[in-house]
A and B are shown apart, each in its own frame.
Chain A
Amino acid sequence: MSISRKDAERTAELAKLEFDPSELSLFVQQFQKVLDHFESLQEANTNRIEPLYQPVPQQETPMRSDKVERQIQQEDALRAAPSKKRGHFRVPRVID
């Protein structure tokens, strides 16, 4: 599969990343080389094979009782925030 500049721009949009034009050109080139290597995957016969998302079989997901045990205090959670106000994370205006 060949990847176009437009594909790369769409992917960057989805990933919330920006590239300058020269960065994007290099990226498309490297991306193509990697995808070419990945083409071998398409030849594998995976009819009737279920995808594997978790490598070690577990009987069932362990559950605990639904009660509050420990929590990070609000002050601690906010400490590393780049901007905060009155106990909240602060961000630029969302709605104009």
Chain B
Amino acid sequence: MPFEIFDSPADDANDREDALFADDAVLSEEGDWPEELLMLGSQLSADAARLASLYPAEPRTGRDLLTIASAPDASFASPTGVTGTGWMSRVLSQAVVGHGARWVTAAAILVVATIGTFTTFQSLKIAPIPEQKSTAPMQVAVNSETAPVSPQDAMSYGEPGSFEETGFEDLSSPAQEALLDLFEDNQLSQASLSI
């Protein structure tokens, strides 16, 4: 045999099973085996024939084989005389299922690295500071208890005696004057009573 017969753990397991079950019943001819086992064997034969009829072998000539054998990568070389569709589909399936795993992994790593790099740069990117509009009045927070009051601010608080200072509105209308008089009279009367 030109090929080496491997001595693998599978072979060792088979040998152990062979030794375990190598009794007289096993070593007898098939005709002496239980009928169920023979039926299983017949079913295996029928299934094999059915599968072979469903998926027949593609024709290859000796020249095809020699062409493939002389190619650098025999498993992916296209033989002459074979239509391209079946061959390419098989090559693609092999690329996806077998050898393609590495390429898919590499492509996934590349995509993740690209997205990661882009995201990192986006997060590190400093947003520009918006310019201050010089025309807008500057808003200054002022502590009213400690901050000095400028004359301009004093104007906003109103003149002495105004509503902002005294809590009374400017009494100018006749009705308001009458009301003030009534209040003062009442106040005076109360003061006289308390005395």
Q: Is chain B a partner of chain A in the same complex?
A: no
Residues of A within 8 A of B (CB): none
Residues of chain B at the chain A interface (Cβ within 8 Å): none
